[in-house]
Amino acid sequence: MLNSIFKTTLILFAVATFSCQSNEPLTEVYMPKFFADHMVLQRNQPIRVWGDGTPGKRVLAKFNNQEKETEIDDAGFWMVEFDPMPASGPFELDVNGKKIRDVQVGDVWVAGGQSNMEWVMSAQVEGLQEEIADSDYSLIRFFKIPHDYDAVKKNDVRGGEWRMANADNILNFSAVAWFFAKRNHLEKGVPIGIIESNWGGTPAEGWTASSKLIDFPPYSEKAKDVEERKEYWIQEVIDNKLRELKRNELVAAPQNGEIKGVVNTNFDDSNWQTVNLPRDNPFSDIAWFRKKFTLTETENITLNLGDIQQMAYIYLNGGRLLVKDYGDAVKEFTLPAGMLVKGENLLVVRIVNTWNNSPVLGKSGEFFIKSRGKKISLEGEWKYNNKVEEEIPKVEWYNWLPGMMYNAMIAPIVKYPIKGVIWYQGESNAGEHQYYKQLFGTMIQNWREAWGIGDFPFLFVQLANFMERKDVQPDSDWAFLREAQTQTLELPNTGMAVTIDVGNADDIHPRNKKDVGHRLWQAAKKVAYGEEVVHAGPTVSKAEKKGDKVIITFDFVGDSLKLTSGTEVLGFILKGEDGNFESAKGSIIGPNQVEVYSAAIKNPTEIRYAWADNPEVNLYNSLDLPAVPFRQKIQ
């Protein structure tokens, strides 16, 4: 009897204890910044919510009639997982009383890479006005991760907020990602979330965990250093960021020079150095330039500074004329008549180059003032001084080191389930193209392993055409890099958008981002959504010799190959037995075949297509997708 009473007492005590724990007041918890109003969660995958808080305390999370409870571990970490859901919303997420509203469930894509992915809609993208007029899509949301880097993996990003697509917000969206997301949303009818994690000018090794590059010789020494000297690099990153803050303060403070009167017409610059522009470029630090010119009239006067690298404040007769940001093109523009005088005028330019601390002003033949169609050259002597303001602190590009951007801009989001990745990068690795296939493949596998959701779709953009056009250029670094990108398609669930036709010889940032985004979407329809579509441009299947001619057979032609201009296929070169390459003529001879011939090559041993920095091409399939550049030996 007593034993029975003792057992009952123990049971009642256990129940009471559990009840007390369940009723324990909920404490404040913290979640990464992307858990915020208007967020998009990935459909058809377990929905993870996590953060940190006081060890041992309780976490109660509620979402769409689901409740999940857990305890914060000894390291202060907690995570709950809700059941997968179809595309739907809006919902409210409640974690210990902290409410996140207007949560949608749809498809989430990471938009990564360097400047061509980062390039925003407002930066002179083609078709901007049409997009602004058709931008009100509240179910398309973007989250931009600010630039950051670190020697250790971070748990949260530096900042950011979810923004819904509208006429104001899309101006700061990645243009490529916007065109991709819009097509995705319109065709699939589900909410689309884009997490932008990109940074202009960056190499792929910075986006790859350093531990994955220790055994990769081109990057192993730096990767080992980052891994083995953690304490040093943690402190050096902090110090470098402090130097960067100081530099940025100086860059954005032209008033430091203005208050000294250097923009005024009566300022005495007799002790300034005389330089010859553009011949003496580049300069250093915060460079101030002064130049006087004479006018006989003040109406319809234009100015062309030719080249500015990279940011500038421009003054005319003591007044600030305009500010040129790093992404702005330098164009000829009209000077306000009210700022000019008949007779002597003064032009003052303040330039800072945060990329390499090498300011540049002027370009031969494109450096002038124009009055009534007559050019007044600005080339020649200018007054110059880079001591008006403080020297720019030396800021190292540590974000380029193995793993640095991965730690700060990828590691914090790998618990967040996604549909896939769109990627535009490679320009910064072209000089080491021989390593790119392995490097890029390692990065993709690293990300997939870190996310732990299988081989998610990874879609990327092949480098666009750029630089001076050359008919025969077998040693093109950019062509070799494009080949490495094509070879990366050997990995499962990958797709590539060819952009060999959208580039600009003089600008590494093509403004045609619409075709880029739409071609990525075409690849996504096949790779990510399993549609039976032609998702790539004509791709070489085989090259066969027929006398002195070569017959090329292509896959992915759709209905048939076609030309967008002329009657001859452009872009082919052939290699002869002597090892030299010559331009070759091509003709479409069937729905999927092209015949190539060069009178200068009697026994061709190799054929290449679109193999140059900036080749001229006109071969497409019936879906208007350009043929994929290639090189192939001929048997």
DSSP assignment of 116-136: HHH-BTTTT-TTHHHHHHT--
Q: Where are the alpha helices (DSSP H) in 313-420?
A: 404-405
Higher pLDDT, 635 or 283: 283
- Residue 488 to residue 436: CA distance in whole angstroms: 9
Q: Give the relative orientation of helices 436-451 and 477-487 as an angle to the nearest 10 degrees.
A: 40
pLDDT > 70: what percent of the chain? 96
pLDDT in tens, 542-591: 999 999 999 999 999 999 999 999 999 999 999 999 999 999 999 999 99
Predicted local distance difference test score (pLDDT) of residue 329: 83
Q: Where are the alpha helices (DSSP H) in 66-174?
A: 115-118, 128-133
User: At residue 234, what is the residue type?
Assistant: I
In 3D space, the residue among 310, 301, 295, 408 whose CA is nearest the CA of residue 350 turns out to be 310
In 3D space, the residue among 507, 494, 432, 418 whose CA is nearest the CA of residue 462 turns out to be 494
Predicted local distance difference test score (pLDDT) of residue 4: 47
pLDDT in tens, 364-400: 999 999 998 899 999 999 999 999 999 999 999 999 9
pLDDT in tens, 596-632: 999 999 999 999 999 999 999 999 999 999 999 999 9
Predicted local distance difference test score (pLDDT) of residue 462: 98
**E strand or H helix that includes residue 14:** helix 2-22
Answer yes or no: is pLDDT of 149 > 50: yes
pLDDT in tens, 392-438: 999 999 999 999 999 999 999 999 999 999 999 999 999 999 999 99
pLDDT in tens, 334-358: 999 999 999 999 999 999 999 999 9
Q: Is 467 left (phi over 0), alpha (psi -120 to 50) or beta?
A: left
Local confidence band at 15 (pLDDT 50, 70, 90 cut-offs): very low
- Residue 72 to residue 325: CA distance in whole angstroms: 46
Query: Cβ(154)–Cβ(547) under 8 Å?
Result: no
Angle at 30 between CA 29 and CA 35, to 5 degrees: 125
Answer yes or no: is pLDDT of 261 > 80: yes
- Residue 448 to residue 457: CA distance in whole angstroms: 9
- Residue 209 to residue 196: CA distance in whole angstroms: 19
- Is residue 586 helix, strand or coil? strand
Report strand pairing: 287-295 vs 360-361.
unpaired
